[in-house]
Every structure is written in structure tokens, then in C-alpha cells.
Structure 1
Amino acid sequence: MSLTPRWIYAFIVACCCGLLGYALYTQYFEGLHPCPLCITQRAFFVLTALTALIALIVNPQQTGRYIASGLMLVSTIAGGSVAYRQVWLQGLPPDQVPACGPSLEYMFSNLPFGEAFSTLMLGDGNCAEIVWTLFGLSMPNWSMFAFIGLALAAIASALPMIKR
């Protein structure tokens, strides 16, 4: 069995589904409510998974592999940037943490889209709270590492040495 782009796409889809499944588990069974930055990271995992799923189904030639890889790379870099922002917020001294903002539902129903989107991307005091750790790292830390791994897999899927 050789490594092909389709195996890499399947791996990316499986990883994203596993990460999203665990996020939903912690939300609905462990009671951890996601902050705006967590929801944004989930959206980028979904976008990465959908791109990989389409590539898995289509099985593109070399140019299509570059396009799929580029799209996955953009979504993983964006998601990793959001995760990094949350890690940065969590590392701030308590007196420098921004105030907690309104709920996501309130923002999108009462604020103009641009302002709600900006608030969502910047995060608030809720995003600085650490409520879950594994080996001393918070969920945004693990999310950031996952985005890095997915970005490397996306790059590998476009390498010419990977057999079709």
C-alpha cells in the first residue's frame, strides 16, 4: 500500500471529524460551552474537512491537487491564527484580559455583520478562560497543533513525489 493524495485527503477528513466530534462531545456531554474563537476554529476545521472531502471524491490531477492543497493551507493557517489568538488571550495577565462580550446569538441578531464578525475574530474575556487541559496544554493549544499538522498534510498531498 503506497501513500497517495487520496489517503492523505482521507486522513485529513478523519482528523477533522475526530476533532469536531470531540469538541461536540465536550460541549454537549462535559458542559464546556465554546467561546467565539472556539466556534471560529471549528468553522475552519469544517472548511478544511470539506475541501479534503471534495478532493477525495474528485481525485484531481496535479493542478487540482495544488488548488486543493492551497485551499486547505489557507483554511489551516487561518484556523491556526485564530487558535494562536486564543492562546495569546489565555496568556495575558488577568488585568489585561478584555471584557466578556455578548453572546454569539446576540451579536449576529443585533449588530451589523461586519461588527459581529470583527468581535467574533478578536474574541473576548470568555476566550481567555482555561476550562480544559491535557498535559498542561489548553484546548486552543491542541487546536493550534492540529492546524499545524493538517497544514503539513495538505502540503504533502500536493508533493509531486506522492504517487497518484
Structure 2
Amino acid sequence: MSEWSLRQWSLAGLGFCVAMMAVALGLEHLVGLEPCPLCVFQRVAVIAAGLVFAVAALHGPRGAFATVAYSGLAALAVLSGIAVAGRHLWLQSLPADQVPSCGPGLDYMIDVLPLQKVIASVLSGSGECAEVGATLLGLSLPGWTLIGFVVLLAVPVGMLTTLRATTSGYRWNG
């Protein structure tokens, strides 16, 4: 895998993002689990990473700047997803008396509030985000999503190993 091209790493990342979204949409539409606002933000992070991987795969650059740019943007999206999933897990771990009260739905907030206030409100959490809707092997869905994001973080790191492999033996002036 250390000899993969940027395009191959990007396609692997895109495939993993598609798989994560397929699971999320399957749980929503086939099982009937409605996503809370933090779940929606985690989906946005997956989609953002997937878009970066898709553009990188289509572009298929070979230069150092593009490799660093694509891997950096992908890592930013993935790290954002890790942060949101971590926040979600933290909310789920709170004792019942410390759980924030449920607020208005995400659709309503988007319709009435500026985007900055919507983001702040969602990240502060609500009671519905603290509910554990389902578990698998003792982990809640945000726990599995966090694991998915950590695995996905290997792709931008792998992209950077491509850079290292293609620039070894060359000296950078800078």
C-alpha cells in the first residue's frame, strides 16, 4: 500500500466514505433510526471528505503541493468528523440529570437562525443527541462512526506517504 498512487488512495477513501454513508442511510431508511443533529453533522463530515477524495481521484495530480493540499483538506474533514463524533459520545455518557434539554429540530433551526448559530446550537448538544438509539457489540452508533473516522484518517496519511515515496532522494529548497 505504500506504493499506491494519490489516485488509488483517493479511490479507497471515497469508497470508505460511500460505505459509511450507505450504512447511515440504511439505518435511517431501512431500520427507521432518525438521525439527530450531531448525526447529520457527522454525515456532512463524511460527505466533505468524500468530495475531497473524489476530486483528488479525478484530478490525479503527481505534485507535492496538490498531494499536501488534498491530504490536508481530507484530514480536516475527517478530524472534524472525529470531533463531532467525540462530542456526541460525550453527550451520551452524561448522567441523565446533566443532559441538555431537547431543542428545536435541525430543519427549523436552519430555516430561522443564521448558520453560525445553528452550528453553535447543534454542537452544544441537545437531549435527543444524548439518547442511545442502538448499539452493536456494546458501542453506540457515534462510537462506530468515530472508529470509522479514525480508520478513514489513514487515507490522508497514506496520501502523504505517496508524497514521501515520490520525493525521496530529492531535496526540497525551502
Tell me the SS of whatever aligns to 1:102.
coil
1:134 to 133, 136, 139: 136
| Percent of paired sites with the same residue | 34
- Please, what TM-score do these two structures have when normalized by structure 1? 0.94
Structure 1 residues 108-119: aligned runs within 5 Å: 108-119=110-121
Residue 54 in 1 paired to residue 55 in 2?
A: yes
- Please, what TM-score do these two structures have when normalized by structure 2? 0.88
Counterpart in 1 of 2:26? 25
The one-letter code of the counterpart of 1:80 is I
Whole-Å separation in 2 of the counterparts to 1:18 and 1:96: 34
Higher Cα Rg, which structure: 2
Counterpart in 1 of 2:14? 13
Q: 1:23-50: per-residue Cα shift (whole Å, max 9, x none)? A: 0111111110000000000000000000
Whole-Å separation in 2 of the counterparts to 1:109 and 1:10: 35
Q: Which region of structure 1 is more displaced relative to structure 2, 34-43 or 141-150?
A: 141-150
Counterpart in 1 of 2:147? 145
Whole-Å separation in 2 of the counterparts to 1:153 and 1:112: 34
Counterpart in 1 of 2:171? none
The one-letter code of the counterpart of 1:57 is L
Q: Check whether the contact 1:4–1:162 (CA below 8 A) recurs between aligned residues.
A: no
Task: Give 1:162 shift.
Answer: 4.5
Tell me the SS of whatever aligns to 1:29.
helix
Counterpart in 2 of 1:4? 5
In angstroms, what is the RMSD of aligned CA positions?
1.6
**Number of residues paired by the alignment?**
164
The one-letter code of the counterpart of 1:55 is A
Counterpart in 2 of 1:69? 71
Counterpart in 2 of 1:36? 37
Whole-Å separation in 1 of the counterparts to 2:165 and 2:147: 24
Task: Give 1:148 shift.
Answer: 1.2
Unaligned stretches of 5+ residues in structure 1:
none
